[in-house]
Amino acid sequence: MNIDDATAAANDRLADRDDMIVCVNVDKFYGDFQALKGVTATIKEGEVAVVCGPSGSGKSTWIRCINRLEVHQGGDIVVDGIELTNDLRNIEKIRSEVGMVFQQFNLFPHLTVLDNITLAPIWVRKKPRAEAESMARALLERVGIPEQAEKFPGQLSGGQQQRVAIARSLAMEPRVMLFDEPTSALDPEMIKEVLDVMKELARSGITMMVVTHEMGFAREVADRIMFMEGGEIVEVGTPEHFFTNPTEDRTKLFLSQIL
Amino acid sequence: MQEEDPISVALKQEEDAAPNEAPRLSVLQWLRSNLFSNWANAILTLLGALAAFLMLRGVLNFVFSENREWVAVRTNLRALMTLSYPESQYVRVWVALGFVVGLAGLSAGIWSDWGGLPIRRLATWFMGIGGLIALCVVVREPSVLMDSEGKALSTLEGSLQRESFGAAMADRVDWWIAALVLFTVGAVLWSRYSSVQRRHVELPITSIVYVGIGIAILTLWVVPYGHYAFVDGTYIAESGTTVAFSTQMPWTVMWVLLGLGFLVGRFLRSSQYVGMSKTGSNLLWLICPFALFWVVLRDPALDYGHVMSTDLPMGLAFGLLGAGALWLLTRSDIGEAGRIAATLLLIFAIFNWVAAFFGWYPMLQKARISFLLLAFAALLAPNFIGDIAKRRQLVLGWVGVMALVHYLATMINTPSTVDLQSDEFLGGLGLTLFVAVIVVVLSFPLGVLLALGRTSKFPIFRMLSTSYIEIIRGVPLISVLIFFSVMVPLFLPDGMELAELAAVLTGYTLFSAAYLAENVRGGLQSITKGQYEAADAIGLTSAQRTGFIVLPQALTVSIPQLVGQVISSFKETSLLAIIGLFDFLRVANSVIPAQSEFMGVKREGILVVAMIYFFFNFIISKYSQRLERRVGLGER
């Protein structure tokens, strides 16, 4: 099977799934600077999409627009059938369905690991505390650090903190997980433990959108890779297509720099 | 052994680990490396020691001088504590104090996380205090010689004649004995517990507390301190005839209450109710200043006809109807209607106050307050939508708040039966503490709200808060106090009166809130953007984000500044003297020196007042350091 057939096959496989995230001509400005220039893309249910590109290409801005941490000025974003507008109720609904993992973890330093994870289920999902705690412990088991439940984030290593952050997002039982450079702030020896958790997650069938520079991860688990530069999506394709036969010159240049 | 929270366990491990690792220096080595490491340091050390020596000598000579009239302070202890409060009603003061003391013991028992005190440390304290007493005995100048009429003798050159050094030392033999006993006990303990196995033996904290209280009670019955009376030119210690008049019995009861409170607190700490008792004791601290002042000290004369016809029905109506409304507002199918209802209620509640200002329709003050509280409860209601248990929480909480508010409001509005000799209800330390506590308790939430307003996204809140804070901070406290005591009564609508104390409390609270707001704002600014984003990303509402994520961290960061503001609020109550109230300092500065027996005796009283101010502020400051260490652990 040649590579373009593979891309076509992947597209076919995804074609009959429901749309999870739909972006149409999304524009974003910071003052005079246009960070996103008509970004159009569709991510299907259960898809793992990796977004890569050089610094300042708009990857993080785009992913942050999807749960409205940034406000886009033009175009439409629809997540799971709900359009992102200024309506507060839609934003709350989308945020409780979309989990986000940050580069700097952003755990709550004054709460224990367990409280970090159970806060939102108890107060947003209105779950009883006992149920929320048993779920939190199960999630800590899943990310491999069940023994750290009573500690404070400041007592954990970076890799452990990022795994807690993933567990915290999963506690809301989201349908989509967004990862904004989840391994960029980690020491090299801790990157693997976080990537392992993310790979397990990808295989579990949740929809994932990952901004990362980890090309090994992208090659292994991504359904599609999107390459961005200058606020535009330059090229989209399966990992096979992307790494072995990129069509755009800018993609080739980027790959030659990082591989 | 009771279960301990992770923080105190971690702290203990840290403390335990430290002494084993650090190599110990001998005293001489320590002196050499810290005080005499080079010539410049040696000179500075000697100069510092000389300054300390001169200061100690000066203080001792002041305190023990034959010219001091300490009896002026001892005779006026009642004036210093409460000033004009009638002596026949003193049992009320003791009841109030007893409640606070018992509560303090209870809280100490519930919160204390140290199991014991190393005996070696106790031994060093004994030796240190013994050594200090000996030093003071030697440093103090010999006494001035007196003639038969009690006048100081002076030489022909005019300088005072003093007894010889040897005679002075012999006169102070009781001090020598005290120093020797303390030092010996300390040294014996030290040597017995210096072996490696016994080095870390600890005395349980409970036994220290009981021994301490035992000693305190014993001294009460041996040393006749307390109230003195001036009879026929001599001062006699009053024998305690009634509870209200003696000081020995009440103080004994106070110490026993402290011990009992501590015992109960320790018991609760080891029981399963520890969380509940912590919340309960905090709530009691919050309520007790209001309840003790208006209910106990003022002894309101209730008009039972009015209570039955107005107060009770009104309280019941608000409690029950409000509970019903909140029950409806927490139905799971309420949706947007709940928010609309709460907003309408808030508009109505605010309109009531506007109407009251213009006198459009009559409504009791407590009804206006109740409506406002109901509006806030309705705004909170969406957080309690869910199962029956959660809804019941909100409804029961509402009934409790209403019971408390209406009880206190009735008590406040009822005139006092306490027969006053002057316009002042309370003076002295009582007034100072009352004002300080009320101001801190009321200005804290106001300050937090102002800080949130100033950092809010809404321009109108931001503008209002900023201009409020800047205007208040641009005005001296004295002018705020004068404004509220003199000018505000002129602006009030007809028929509305404000007691001087109430006016001053209002002004002082508004003033203090502006400063607290700036301290809290400092804390708010230290919260990173990532914390807001993370809270948003997991779906918290902005109120939940503020309450669970932003404020806890911001307040933790600003503990040192907040405590500084509390301490300065407490000290600046002495400015109340300017507008005619008799605060603690004014009693010492103007009341005692105006008495015919003690004409012009000022310095003794002021020194005692300063020491008592220092005592309270030292406790607050120490407590805040502990608090910082406790909450700081999460930040590492």
B347 vs chain A: nearest CA distance in angstroms?
A: 22
**Chain A positions in Cβ-Cβ contact with residue B537 (cut-off 8 Å):** 67, 69, 95, 98-100, 102, 169
Residue B159 DSSP one-character state: P
Distance, CA of B519 to CA of B557 (rounded, Å): 10
Predicted confidence band at B424 (pLDDT cuts at 50, 70, 90)?
A: low
Give the pLDDT confidence score for residue B19 in this predicted structure.
47
Give the pLDDT confidence score for residue B235 in this predicted structure.
58
- The phi and psi torsions of A208 (rounded to 5 degrees) equal -130, 140
Give the pLDDT confidence score for residue B440 in this predicted structure.
92
**Chain B positions in Cβ-Cβ contact with residue A120 (cut-off 8 Å):** 538-540
A247 touches chain B (CB under 8 A): no
More confident residue, B606 or B580: B606
Give the 3-state DSSP-derived string for B191-231, with helices as H, strands as E and coil as C: HHCCCCCCCCCEEEHHHHHHHHHHHHHHHHHHCCCCCEEEE
A119 vs chain B: nearest CA distance in angstroms?
A: 9
- Which of A205-219, B237-251, B271-285 is predicted least confidently? B237-251
**Chain B positions in Cβ-Cβ contact with residue A106 (cut-off 8 Å):** 528, 530-531, 533-534
In this complex, do B385 and A107 lie within 8 Å of one another by their Cβ atoms?
A: no
In this complex, do B553 and A150 lie within 8 Å of one another by their Cβ atoms?
A: no
Is pLDDT above 80 for B4? no
What is the ipTM for the molecules in this complex?
A: 0.91
Question: Average pLDDT, stretch A210-236?
Answer: 91
Is pLDDT above 80 for A91? yes
In this complex, do B530 and A106 lie within 8 Å of one another by their Cβ atoms?
A: yes
Give the pLDDT confidence score for residue B240 in this predicted structure.
44
Q: What region, left, alpha or beta, does residue B151 occupy, with left being phi > 0 and alpha being psi -120 to 50 degrees? A: beta
Question: Average pLDDT, stretch B584-611?
Answer: 89
B506 vs chain A: nearest CA distance in angstroms?
A: 34
CB-nearest partner of B536 from A95, A99, A154:
A95
A131 touches chain B (CB under 8 A): no
C-alpha dihedral, B618 to B571 to B465 to B404, nearest 10°: 80
Is pLDDT above 70 for A251? yes
In this complex, do A119 and B383 lie within 8 Å of one another by their Cβ atoms?
A: no
Predicted confidence band at B423 (pLDDT cuts at 50, 70, 90)?
A: low
Give the pLDDT confidence score for residue A9 in this predicted structure.
61
Distance, CA of B506 to CA of B515 (rounded, Å): 15
Residue keyed to tokens 């330093």: A109
Of B238, B217, B255, nearest in space to B74 by CA: B238
Give the pLDDT confidence score for residue B257 in this predicted structure.
93
A111 vs chain B: nearest CA distance in angstroms?
A: 7
B400 vs chain A: nearest CA distance in angstroms?
A: 23
Predicted confidence band at A5 (pLDDT cuts at 50, 70, 90)?
A: low
Give the pLDDT confidence score for residue B243 in this predicted structure.
39
Of A202, A172, A11, A23, nearest in space to A212 by CA: A202
In this complex, do B531 and A169 lie within 8 Å of one another by their Cβ atoms?
A: no
Give the pLDDT confidence score for residue A4 in this predicted structure.
58
Q: Helix, strand or coil for residue B499? A: coil
> Strand runs (DSSP E) across A122-251, as ranges?
176-180, 207-211, 224-229, 232-237
**Radius of gyration, CA atoms only, chain B:** 29
A69 touches chain B (CB under 8 A): yes
Q: What percent of chain B has a predicted confidence (pLDDT) above 70?
A: 89
Residue keyed to tokens 């399963």: B272
In this complex, do A110 and B634 lie within 8 Å of one another by their Cβ atoms?
A: yes
* pLDDT per position as a tens digit, B301-321: 888 888 888 888 888 999 999
- Which of B137-151, B390-404, B512-526 is predicted least confidently? B137-151
Question: Which residues have CB under 8 Å from B35's CB, separation 6+?
Answer: B41, B42, B45
Contact (Cβ atoms closer than 8 angstroms) between residue B243 and residue B227: no
In this complex, do B539 and A168 lie within 8 Å of one another by their Cβ atoms?
A: no
Predicted confidence band at B224 (pLDDT cuts at 50, 70, 90)?
A: low
* pLDDT per position as a tens digit, B114-151: 677 888 888 999 999 999 999 999 888 888 777 777 67
Say how many CB pairs under 8 Å bridge A and B.
Answer: 81
Give the pLDDT confidence score for residue B199 in this predicted structure.
78
A152 touches chain B (CB under 8 A): yes
CB-nearest partner of A95 from B6, B537, B552:
B537
The two counts, helices (H) then strands (E), for chain B are 28, 4
Residue keyed to tokens 């009879």: B231
Give the pLDDT confidence score for residue B309 in this predicted structure.
84
**Chain A positions in Cβ-Cβ contact with residue B540 (cut-off 8 Å):** 119-120, 123-124
Give the pLDDT confidence score for residue B154 in this predicted structure.
76
Contact (Cβ atoms closer than 8 angstroms) between residue A223 and residue A48: yes
Is pLDDT above 80 for A56? yes
C-alpha dihedral, B357 to B360 to B363 to B365, nearest 10°: 0
Tell which of A66, A112, A126, A184 to mutate to test the B interface (max B CBs under 10 Å).
A126
For chain B, the average pLDDT equals 83
Question: Which residues have CB under 8 Å from B390's CB, separation 6+?
Answer: A126, B330, B384
* pLDDT per position as a tens digit, A143-193: 999 999 999 998 999 999 999 999 999 999 999 999 999 998 888 888 999
Give the pLDDT confidence score for residue B487 in this predicted structure.
82
